[in-house]
Chains A and B, each alone.
Chain A
Amino acid sequence: NAGVMQNPRHLVRRRGQEARLRCSPMKGHSHVYWYRQLPEEGLKFMVYLQKENIIDESGMPKERFSAEFPKEGPSILRIQQVVRGDSAAYFCASSPELAGNQGEQYFGPGTRLTVT
């Protein structure tokens, strides 16, 4: 059973470019979460999605950031016009339906974004 997959693992973008980060949840999981990890910081929640729905985006910056989880295909975290402050590790996690879930999330290996 494959775990949570993220690609690319490393992404380098120049200031002003767009970054697209992809996440494929574990098989059978329909809930996806994105977190950002800055140096010397813990993980900060960004957005929580189910298929075709954004459930909670309270942790997303108001501008330049967007996320989707389409009916088919991976979840995408999109950052437009990247700035140096966007450099971080972005982690995706997935979980099964809430009824059978006690808050446990399974994490991918992360995408390390570097903005030059």
Chain B
Amino acid sequence: AQSVTQLGSHVSVSEGALVLLRCNYSSSVPPYLFWYVQYPNQGLQLLLKYTSAATLVKGINGFEAEFKKSETSFHLTKPSAHMSDAAEYFCAVSSSGYSTLTFGKGTMLLVSP
């Protein structure tokens, strides 16, 4: 069984500040991990994925995430927030070789001027 926990349903930052969105997972097998972003009334767009290669993964729009097996974490970061980053972010996990995704409940990122 797999599960994902995203700490904080809402995170507020100022423009230019560091963004940190937390994700912890549970998986009985080596996981594949993903971060997706959802803008209002749109589908999900893949930001980045971890698939057992490098533990620090770089994605689109300046986001990156680090896989830490000892902490079962895959936190998403961005050094400097832009107003356009305001959206909902979902962490997801899947088992290698079987693609069904298990999602966290999401974190809404709010960016203020």
Q: Interface residue count for B (Cβ, 8 Å)?
A: 28
Q: Which residues of B contact A31 (CB under 8 A)?
A: 99
Of chain A, the residue at the smallest CB distance from B93 is A103
Are B100 and A48 closer than 8 Å at their CB atoms?
Answer: yes
Are B97 and A98 closer than 8 Å at their CB atoms?
Answer: yes
Are A41 and B43 closer than 8 Å at their CB atoms?
Answer: no
Q: Cα distance A95–B34 when bound, in Å?
A: 14
Are A102 and B100 closer than 8 Å at their CB atoms?
Answer: no
Of chain B, the residue at the smallest CB distance from A31 is B99
Inter-chain contact count A-B, CB under 8 Å? 67
Interface residues of A (CB under 8 A from B): 4, 31, 33, 35, 40-45, 48, 56, 91, 93, 95, 98, 101-110, 112
19 A–B contacts, CB within 8 A, in A order: A4-B43, A33-B100, A35-B101, A41-B105, A42-B105, A43-B90, A44-B103, A98-B99, A102-B49, A103-B32, A103-B94, A103-B95, A103-B96, A103-B99, A107-B36, A107-B43, A107-B44, A108-B43, A110-B42
For the complex of A and B, 6 pairs with smallest distance between CB atoms: A103-B94, A103-B32, A42-B103, A107-B43, A107-B44, A102-B51
